[in-house]
Amino acid sequence: MVNITINGNPVHAREGASVLEASREDKYASKQFDINILSLNYLRDVQQGDTSGLCIAEVAGKGIVNASTVTVEEGMEIVTNSPEIIGLQKKALQNILDHHDLDCRHCLRTGNCELQEIQYNLRMTKKTSDAKIKDTDVVEDGIIVRDHNKCVRCGRCVAVCKDVQGIGAIRMEGESMKGRVVPSRGATLAESGCVNCGQCISVCPVGALRERDDTDRIFELIADPDKYVIVQAAPSVRASIGETFRYPVGSVTKGKLAAALRRLGFDRVFDTVFGADLTIMEEATELIGRMNSGKNMPMFTSCCPGWISYCEENHPELLDHISTCKSPQQMAGAMIKTYLAEKEGIDKDRIVVVSVMPCTAKKCELTRDDENAGGVPDVDFSITNRELGRMIERADIPFIALEDEDFDLPLGIGTGAGTIFGATGGVMEAALRTANDWVNGTSQKAIDYKEVRGIEGVKEAVYKVGKTDLKVAAVSGLANTEKLLEKIKSGEAVYDFVEVMACPGGCVNGGGQPQQMAEKRTVIDIRKNRAEGLYHLDERCSVRKSYENSAIKELYSSYLGEPGSEKAHAYLHTTYQAKGE
């Protein structure tokens, strides 16, 4: 640590930190003193530099500097609120506002917008007569919507796609405030290699990027008496939906989530954790089969549609190595439209399945081939965590005041194993809990596979499964995935089982999760907090292994037969296709 002063106040700063980071990281100073340094481009772990003109400070002996690039030194004296600093910031902000559509009332980010926050800090607004700027059309490109009229040219979306995900599907065309975010290759994002992970949306400080919104259509279907609308909610949603309603990051609101979904008018409220447990039944069976045969090893997980799309596009030679299991979203949908429909005498053509996911790529997954077990789509709509938050607000449901409720039966029962699917390493850990018991023929006491936990990009371990030393790896983030695949191909790394999540940190950091301000992301590890919420739920669960789920047992005994059966394969497994074939 080094000792510095900001606006005359003592601050203990991390050695190597930039002036901007130091001003945010010292919790005491951040709370007690007015030392806020403005920033619009900087984002921890995504983009270090800030060229907006807002991120400036005055350093004794150096003059006015870019606070995002200058490193703190012992004894450094910093001023952030001088008249000269504020004057320059207002000039930079005015330039941004001159090119920005300020019709904030109709923007999805209003109230959670970094540009609005900066305007508030500088006490600057724009005249109402100049508020509506519509220089270009809004582009709906697949499931991602680009609104250039709101773009502040911060470059975060380009940086996360290129540097964090290693895809580079978008680029900035043009300079300064005339720049536009466009596909890097071809006319559409699909042609440019986009996997719809939504990380570009997550890092956008304003409303320039968003997912296609399906909420109007869902409200219409809920109101249609001829439709039986069923909703399912993914594991990680319970550890993040509360953030929309001002809960601290990582707060678990499972009971309120179920209650809110019921208040929205859905006919049944199910838990995708059931689908996660079902996935483990099939995936563990598949893993053991491949271990015994030695064919198509290593086996890669199949839960993440962003990863599947990436592999089909860039590594078709690995498709035989991916588990054929559908994702929990699709498995749950398949069972709703077959097992539940038959069990309760509901016409499957009346059923509409809506899933609430932390993911934007799930909107594309439900349109894939071989995702229609009952002859109809397994899932009809997939909405993001953000879309659900907007539905709850639109329906004027007092989320915070809701009493906890349970999910509906029979597809509302889940285990701790299914719950941790939302964290990187969680799918692998859940699979190992079941596979290890099955191979050994008895319940194993050790069920916490902590070596594959944590938010690191790549985690490796070796576990004893029966007589086999199973070499495993859990990787998240597609740039990290590509590096790992290169090591596997070269023989530098050898594994038997690999979990892949497209988004860094897994679903807890999915492209459909609530968006958090850059300032908060500097001092709080969003991924870590949300993951800890899921592990806390797992620890409190009375049943922590998927095969011990009573509803899963009933499903197999009365309907599917056994894991890996012909019927299970027909309903719960899928196929892959190399792009261009």
Task: Give the tens place of pLDDT for each residue, 424-462.
Answer: 999 999 999 999 999 999 998 888 999 999 999 999 999
State whether the Cα torsion 10-15-17-21 is positive or negative: negative
The pLDDT mean for the chain works out to 93
**Better-scored residue on pLDDT, 466 or 261:** 261
Confidence of residue 31 (pLDDT cuts 50, 70, 90): low
Beta bridge partners of 29: none
**Does the structure show a pLDDT above 50 at 272?**
yes
Q: What average pLDDT does this structure show over 349-373?
A: 96
- Quote the CA–CA distance of 254 and 261 in Å, as a whole number: 11
Whether the CB-CB separation of 511 and 361 falls below 8 Å is answered with: yes
- The answer, yes or no, to whether residue 304 has pLDDT greater than 70, is yes
Over 70: is that where the pLDDT of 28 sits? no
Mean pLDDT of 51-63: 94
pLDDT 10s digits, 109-137:
999 999 999 999 898 876 544 555 666 77
Q: What is the pLDDT of residue 32?
A: 57
Look at residue 10 in the predicted model and tell me its pLDDT.
87
Residue 142 in tokens? 């697949």
Average pLDDT over residues 498-517: 96
- pLDDT value of position 366: 94
Could you read off the pLDDT of 4-24 as tens digits, one per residue? 999 888 888 999 999 999 888
129-138, 366-375, 552-561: range with lowest mean pLDDT: 129-138
When pLDDT is averaged across residues 176-190 and rounded to a whole number, the result is 89
Q: What angle do CA 93, 9, 78 make, to 5 degrees?
A: 50
Q: In what order do the strands lie in the sheet with 209-211?
A: 139-141, 144-146, 209-211
Task: Please say whether the dihedral angle defined by the alpha carbons of residues 145, 266, 537 and 282, taken in this order, is positive or negative.
Answer: negative
Whole-number pLDDT of residue 291: 95
Q: How does residue 348 score in pLDDT terms, banded at 50, 70 and 90?
A: very high
Six-digit token pair at 291? 């271990």
> How many residues are there in the chain?
581
Q: Which segments within 256-300 are labelled E, that is strand?
A: 268-271, 299-300
Q: How confident is the model at residue 155 (pLDDT cuts 50, 70, 90)?
A: very high
Residues above pLDDT 90, as percent of the chain: 87
